[in-house]
Amino acid sequence: MWIEERLRFVASCFASSVAGFAVMSNHVHVIVKMDRAAAMEWGAMEVARRWLSLYSRKYVSDGTPMLSSGDELKQVAINKTHVPRWRLRLSDLGWHDEAR
């Protein structure tokens, strides 16, 4: 089932685990546990990898996201503004664009 595959993928990118889910006719219920402490232990490269796995910057012609190369990840990981913000967002399902 594609929904289960997507939930597994998204949970692997966020600092989260999915305890359960139920697919209804027009929506999905998901029980998620967030783990901020785990995200705070990630290095900048790990944060960049997880973020760019979710929000790719490049796509194949059919719309499939392309994974970033190691060099691209290194370039993104040195950004002292984006990486801390992404780390917080990857550990909080309720994130928003206000400064914290």
Task: Give pLDDT tens digits for 43-99.
Answer: 999 999 999 998 887 777 887 777 788 888 899 899 999 999 999 999 998 876 654
Residues 38-44, mean pLDDT to the nearest whole number: 97
Residues 10-15, mean pLDDT to the nearest whole number: 94
Nearest to 50 by CA among 14, 11, 74: 14
CA atoms within 13 A on the CB side of 68: 21
C-alpha distances out from residue 35 to 61, 64, 91, Å? 35, 29, 6
Nearest to 10 by CA among 45, 41, 53: 53
